[in-house]
């Protein structure tokens, strides 16, 4: 225990000073200040139980200790630069909602203070002239951009330097590799990402973070580099669902609260696994069965989705849509083919050679599948489905399989990875919850309840 | 007649040199080189009937003569700078599809060679670091950006300096005011615009240009400043439908042809006017009735859409969607409220104060209306409906009524303004054709046929 630790005393996060070194109790466990969720941090500051500076130091201590191994950051402020900025704006920040706490921003999202290089040599040193609207909104709410987090090349397959903080021998997943790792490794309490295929859910699942993908069209993507306009979604990473709710409220310019709300359980869950989604590791099968048991033990009705080929077929439709649109968004880059990775060059080539009718058929198929899916059960409020086939694969040359995310992304549905499950070696296994189109708030309410269920195990 | 004139000799645009001053015959009428459509220009160059330089000079002659009155350009290259650029890249440009012909780009779309100020003092001198993908693609195909065309403030209501070239006392419409005027006034053969409410169709209708709005999601919007992600569409302006088809093919990186194709007439048209859309001027009523007669005279079945309130109700749904999304895209700008026009500030205020449930209900209503609309008739291939309540209003303090476009834009449908009709004083009246979702190619085929019908009158 040191001066950057807190011990919570109860489940409602009512923080009570324990000694002058700012130590608190929670079920007799201790956590460092940097390990708190965003809202927990803000409540602790509000209550006078710790200072913003202490949290900032705790985050930088963690980064100093871990970044050489984890490699979550493409570029970042130094501790000194961060504190200088904080002190210079202290009055404003102290009065703000987010108090000057640190934010990680995926390096595909424009920032006016730091380069945005998109994981590509084509854009080395590229300095945007404006913040993306999501960054501008969070900065206006009092966040400070600590740095840009590692992305794969143009948010596609070619990995950056990041390693999985839960097991450094494994991929963190991609493309929002750095944001997921920075959250899971307690370096910052909030981070921005983006998902076109599996770029939020997969790294969140592999690293053990909460990753939320908004419904298609939910957030302004201004200043986030477009990859595929029918698929791109903003992603939010945090360690508590309430933090996602807070960040979402800020981004939507809605009333935002740091007060804890009650968790809400759904009454009926549609489960999509096994044949419907494809091969799963035995660990993931076990985790899914365990999740079903936990739901049923709470009296929640569980319906198994019998999808036949429908969900799996969405994988190829997703790839079709992505190939067509990527090659029409990455125009500048496709003129520098020698500086593209082989997988991205192949995707662009696929997009160039395909027929538009095939693209349109895939868009139509995704719309039809979404309509079918939510007419399957009148009762189901949310879908539970594995976020990946299993734990993060060993090695750093690839970012794992994206096909468990592609169907939901093609349908434009809101999704959240709920951590909590692990394999027998404590490597994270992610289950994702899929919500109804544009019903993101309901999804997050249910995610809060279900995450509490998983956490109690 | 001067050396920049051409007279066509037949309807198939087979250009035959008439004298050394490059004059051609078409039905015994003469037109200047700058008045040709883009494909006509390209065919004339290919045939050796005129040079690219001669067309460039003709365009600059027209701009020199008219720009002081019309005011289509926010910023532009000088004739000397244009020709210097052309000569420096002559070999590449002569071998290219678009041969170095001039392009106008709405000043809401990023260009690396010129500032992009979005019609707002907030962004005075703003210099993007990259071309928008649409600009990059057209430049790669051999277009030269002649300049940035005037936009209203952030593509919303506050007018720029542009006047209607058909009647300088009248508004050109907005927000793509400069692009529509530059095309209608024969300053350039191609121009880019954008539409969130009525920003392509309205100025095209008022000025007498062809303006095409792609289906939602049809084109990459990278580098076009987002206003409302569920509504924004790229727009293309030209003087012939075949030119729109060519530009569309280039932007979609599809095989592109400058050869004329046969016009195609639909077999059944759904007409939406009268009560279904709201008050129309008597001139517009007359034009609509005349259009119906022309269709019927060709044996085309015309079905009158009896929409009750459904289409008109889409107007408020569109406003709802736009208000919600604009205030979440114009984040940076909303922090400079003193530099926003009153209408834009009011729109942002509306977006901030409204309930998200109302926004979602409007999105859902638009989806439902689109489904209803295209289930109305199994036969109808395209919808014909007035593009505006009447001719362009007198004065320059406002840009006219957008409500004839809002419903189709809310539904995300492809639309094209077909010029040809006028009132008794030869002021343009626009009729728009609305296509099925993602069936843009069919829409353009029908537009080609229908425009030929209107032109023969």
User: String of b and e for A425-450 (b: at least 16 CB within 10 Å)?
Assistant: eebbbbbbbbbbbbbbbbbbbbbbbb
Q: Which residue has the tokens 């700008």?
A: B333
CB contact under 8 A, B325 and A220: yes
Could you give the CA distance from residue B323 to residue A170 in angstroms, rounded to a whole number? 45
Q: What is the pLDDT of residue A453?
A: 93
Cβ-in-10-Å burial (0-12, 13-18, 19+) of B126 comes to middle
- Show the domains of chain A with their CATH numbers: 1-50 (no CATH), 71-457 (3.90.1300.10)
Q: Do B133 and A329 touch (CB under 8 A)?
A: yes
A214 preceded by a cis bond (ω within 30 of 0): no
What SS3 class is residue B301? strand
pLDDT score at A30? 75
Mutation pick from B220, B227, B245, B252 vs chain A, by most beta carbons of A within 10 Å, is B220
**What does DSSP assign to residue A101?**
-
The beta-carbon neighbor of B329 closest among A133, A328, A331 is A133
Out of B133, B329, B352, whose CB is closest to A222?
B329
Return the pLDDT at B28: 52
Judge: B438–A364 Cβ closer than 8 Å, yes or no.
yes
Residues A34-56: what's their mean pLDDT? 96
Residue-level pLDDT at A311? 96
Contact B438 A360 (CB under 8 A): yes
In the predicted structure, residue A23 carries a pLDDT above the cut 60? no
- Which chain A residues have a beta carbon less than 8 Å from that of B331? 133, 136-137, 140, 220, 222
Contacts 24+ apart (CB under 8 A), A368-375: A369/A310, A369/A311, A369/A313, A369/A314, A369/A317, A369/A407, A369/A410, A369/A411, A370/A411, A370/A412, A370/A413, A370/A437, A372/A310, A373/A305, A373/A310, A373/A411, A374/A436, A374/A437
Q: Sign of torsion, CA B132 B133 B138 B139?
A: positive
> Is residue A16 over pLDDT 90?
no
Measured in whole angstroms, the distance separating CA B398 from the mean position of its chain's CA atoms is 19
Q: Which residue out of B176, B177, B194, B199 is catalytically annotated?
A: B199
d(C-alpha A442, C-alpha A444), whole Å: 5
B chain contacts of residue A126, beta-carbon cutoff 8 Å: 129
Q: Nearest to residue B220, comparing CAs of B243, B194, B241?
A: B194
- Which pLDDT band, with edges at 50, 70 and 90, does A408 fall under? very high
Q: Are B131 and A253 an interchain contact pair (Cβ–Cβ within 8 Å)?
A: no
* B225 contacts A222? CB cut-off 8 A: yes
* ipTM for the whole complex: 0.94
Task: State whether A136 and B332 contact (CB < 8 Å).
Answer: yes
How much is the mean pLDDT over chain A? 93
Residue that is written with structure tokens 């054709």 in the block: B433
Cα B342 to Cα B357: distance, rounded to the nearest angstrom: 26
Q: What does the pLDDT average to over A180-192?
A: 98
Of residues B419, B440, B453, B438, the one with CA closest to residue B37: B419
What's the rounded Cα separation, in Å, for the pair B118 and B227? Answer: 11
Q: Which residues of A are catalytic?
A: 106, 175, 199
- pLDDT for B31 equals 83
Q: Identify whether the C-beta of residue A43 lies closer than 8 Å to the C-beta of residue A15.
A: yes
Local confidence pLDDT in tens for the 457 residues of chain B: 344 555 444 333 444 433 333 434 344 567 899 999 999 999 999 999 999 999 999 999 999 999 999 999 999 999 999 999 999 999 999 999 999 999 999 999 999 999 999 999 999 999 999 999 999 999 999 999 999 999 999 999 999 999 999 999 999 999 999 999 999 999 999 999 999 999 999 999 999 999 999 999 999 999 999 999 999 999 999 999 999 999 999 999 999 999 988 889 999 999 999 889 989 999 999 999 999 999 999 999 999 999 999 999 999 999 999 999 999 999 999 999 999 999 999 999 999 999 999 999 999 999 999 999 999 999 999 999 999 999 999 999 999 999 999 999 999 999 999 999 999 999 999 999 999 999 999 999 999 999 999 987 6
Task: Yes or no: say if A253 and B327 are a contact pair by the CB < 8 Å rule.
Answer: yes
Distance of alpha carbon B226 from alpha carbon B27, whole angstroms:
45
Among A414, A338, A399, which Cα is nearest to A120's? A338
Residue B436 is a catalytic residue: no
Which of A193-197, A440-444, B30-34, B42-46 comes out lowest in average pLDDT? B30-34
DSSP string, B4-30: TEE---STT------STT----BTTB-
| Chain A nearest CA to B156, separation (Å) | 17
How many beta carbons lie within 10 A of that of residue B454, not counting itself? Answer: 16
Q: Is the dihedral of CA B124, B130, B135, B138 positive or negative?
A: positive
* CB contacts, 8 Å: A217 with chain B: 229-230, 363
A-chain residues within 8 Å CB-CB of B327? 253
What pLDDT score does B261 carry? 82
Q: How far A361 CA lies from chain B's nearest CA (Å)? A: 10
- Which pLDDT score, from 0 to 100, does residue A260 have? 87
Which parts of B171-277 are beta strand (E)?
190-195, 210-213, 233-238, 268-271
At A5 the pLDDT is: 55
Per-residue pLDDT band for A28 (boundaries 50, 70, 90) equals low
């Amino acid at each position: 225990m040191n001066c950057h630790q807190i011990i919570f005393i109860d489940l409602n996060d009512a923080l009570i000073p324990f000694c002058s070194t700012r130590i608190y109790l929670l079920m007799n466990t201790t956590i460092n200040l940097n390990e708190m969720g965003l809202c927990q941090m803000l409540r602790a500051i509000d209550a006078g139980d710790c200072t913003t500076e202490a949290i900032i130091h705790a985050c930088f201590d963690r980064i100093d200790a871990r970044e050489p191994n984890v490699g979550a950051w493409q570029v970042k402020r130094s501790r000194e630069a961060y504190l200088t900025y904080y002190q210079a704006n202290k009055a404003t920040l102290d009065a703000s909602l987010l108090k000057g706490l640190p934010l990680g921003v995926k390096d595909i999202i424009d920032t006016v203070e730091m380069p945005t290089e998109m994981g590509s040599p084509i854009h080395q040193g590229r300095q945007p002239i404006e913040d993306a609207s999501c960054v501008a909104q969070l900065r206006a709410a009092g966040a400070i951009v600590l740095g840009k987090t590692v992305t794969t090349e143009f948010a596609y397959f070619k990995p950056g330097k990041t390693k999985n903080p839960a097991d450094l021998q494994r991929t963190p997943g991609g493309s929002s590799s750095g944001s997921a790792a920075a959250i899971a490794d307690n370096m910052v309490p909030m981070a921005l990402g983006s998902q076109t295929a599996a770029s939020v859910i997969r790294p969140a699942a592999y690293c053990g973070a909460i990753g939320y993908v908004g419904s298609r069209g939910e957030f302004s993507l201004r200043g986030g580099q477009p990859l595929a306009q029918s698929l791109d979604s903003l992603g939010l990473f945090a360690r508590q669902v309430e933090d996602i709710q807070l960040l979402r409220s800020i981004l939507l310019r809605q009333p935002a609260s740091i007060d804890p709300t009650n968790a809400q359980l759904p009454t009926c869950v549609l489960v999509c696994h096994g044949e419907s989604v494809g091969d799963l590791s035995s660990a993931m099968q076990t985790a899914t069965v365990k999740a079903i048991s936990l739901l049923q033990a709470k009296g929640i009705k569980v319906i198994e989705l019998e999808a036949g080929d429908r969900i799996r077929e969405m994988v190829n439709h997703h790839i079709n849509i992505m190939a067509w649109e990527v090659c029409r968004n990455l125009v500048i880059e496709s003129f520098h083919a020698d500086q593209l990775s082989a997988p991205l060059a192949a995707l662009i080539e696929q997009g160039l050679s395909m027929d538009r009718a095939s693209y349109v058929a895939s868009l139509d198929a995704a719309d039809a599948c979404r309509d079918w899916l939510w007419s399957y059960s009148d009762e189901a409020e949310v879908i539970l489905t594995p976020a990946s086939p299993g734990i993060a694969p060993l090695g750093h040359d690839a970012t794992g399989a994206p096909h468990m995310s592609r169907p939901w992304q093609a349908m434009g549905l809101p999704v959240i990875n709920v951590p909590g499950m692990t394999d027998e070696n404590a490597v994270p296994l992610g289950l994702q919850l899929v919500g109804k189109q544009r019903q993101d708030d309901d999804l997050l309410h249910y995610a809060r309840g279900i995450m509490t269920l998983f956490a109690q195990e």
